[in-house]
């Protein structure tokens, strides 16, 4: 997707829409594509994120494959949002039915919502995937567009999914050493060559001291450690990204508030002083 990022550098954005009190107008276009799963590519993805159940689709794989459509959506001529500089703030995934990796997926991507944020606007890009006419998968990526304008909403109390787990014991699922080349490896698989993930110099150009791991890599890696009962699968993931994972580093993956079909994941720094993301995970 180098060409798309090159287009992003040249895209002219009408910032007047972003400076107004009312939310900017979302382009109505729906971007569609037929996707056939390449087993070799899926195997490489599973190996990268340590997903052991190759027969069951990783809950983030389709969303990763939809990234070119998401970028096309964000590059829409009527979109007021810049592609470069967007911050991936949150993610929601619903696996509605068992996905057949041997069948074609029809993917549809579009803008679905925009709302004021204390630092600008938060915009949702939604994905729906169909097999044989049935919607089997839904996902929403929420991106923060930073704008210094009077419209911004005051900083509201953020509902932390871990608040109810303060007194619950943390189960350490894994301690991971995240290597310096993680961003480049995942970019090769996902096609997401955003400069902030690749090298120190390219990351510094966008305000980061070091390259950062893709949020989707961090979440996908964490989901691979979630214990799932026989016959069940991860059906719902609600994640909020909090702090970037600077490369290289070490991280801890914790599970809290576990019951029969729901648990909370928390990814922290190796000293547990920073929370990189938290996610509520449901199984079915």
Is the torsion defined by CA of 273, 268, 93, 141 positive or negative?
positive
**Residues in CB range of 242: below 8 A, 6 or more apart:** 275, 276, 277, 278
Q: Specify the DSSP element, H or E, that contains 50.
A: none
The length of the chain, given as a count of residues: 284
Cα dihedral: 142, 146, 151, 154 (round 10): 70
Low-confidence residues of the chain: pLDDT under 50: none
The per-residue pLDDT for 275 is: 98
- Burial of residue 222 (CB within 10 Å: 0-12, 13-18, 19+) is buried
- 84-127, pLDDT tens digit by residue? 778 899 999 999 999 999 999 999 999 999 998 888 899 999 99
> In whole angstroms, what is the distance from residue 275 CA to residue 243 CA?
7
- Indicate the SS3 state at residue 27: coil
Among 194, 184, 183, residue whose Cα is nearest residue 2: 194
Among 113, 107, 138, 116, residue whose Cα is nearest residue 125: 113
The per-residue pLDDT for 150 is: 59
The per-residue pLDDT for 249 is: 97
Domains plus CATH for the chain? 1-156 (3.10.129.10), 159-284 (3.10.129.10)
The per-residue pLDDT for 23 is: 85
The per-residue pLDDT for 99 is: 95
Block residue for tokens 């037929």: 34
The per-residue pLDDT for 257 is: 79
Please spell the DSSP secondary structure of 218-232, one letter per residue: HHHHHHTTS---TT-
């Amino acid at each position: 997707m180098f060409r798309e990022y090159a287009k992003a550098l040249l895209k002219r954005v009408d910032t007047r829409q972003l400076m107004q009190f009312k939310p900017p107008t979302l382009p109505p276009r729906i971007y569609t594509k037929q996707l056939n799963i390449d087993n070799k590519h899926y195997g490489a993805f599973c190996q990268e994120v340590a997903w052991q159940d190759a027969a069951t689709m990783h809950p983030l794989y389709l969303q990763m494959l939809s990234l070119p459509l998401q970028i096309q959506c964000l590059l829409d001529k009527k979109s007021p949002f810049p592609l470069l500089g967007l911050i991936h703030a949150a993610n929601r995934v619903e696996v509605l039915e068992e996905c057949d990796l041997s069948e074609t997926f029809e993917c549809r991507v579009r803008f679905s919502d925009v709302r004021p944020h204390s630092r600008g606007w938060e915009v949702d890009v939604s994905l729906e995937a169909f097999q044989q006419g049935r919607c089997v998968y839904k996902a929403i990526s929420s991106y923060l567009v930073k704008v210094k304008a009077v419209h911004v909403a005051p900083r509201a109390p953020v509902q932390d999914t871990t608040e109810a787990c303060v007194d619950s014991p943390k189960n350490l699922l894994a301690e991971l050493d995240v290597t310096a080349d993680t961003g480049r490896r995942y970019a090769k698989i996902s096609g997401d060559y955003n400069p902030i993930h690749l090298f120190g110099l390219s990351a510094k150009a966008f305000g980061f001291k070091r390259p950062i791991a893709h949020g989707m890599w961090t979440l996908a890696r964490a989901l691979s450690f979630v214990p799932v009962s026989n016959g069940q699968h991860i059906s719902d993931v609600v994640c909020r990204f909090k702090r970037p994972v600077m490369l290289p580093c070490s991280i801890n993956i914790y599970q809290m508030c576990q019951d029969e079909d729901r648990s909370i994941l928390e990814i922290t720094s190796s000293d547990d002083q920073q929370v990189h993301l938290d996610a509520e995970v449901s199984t079915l």
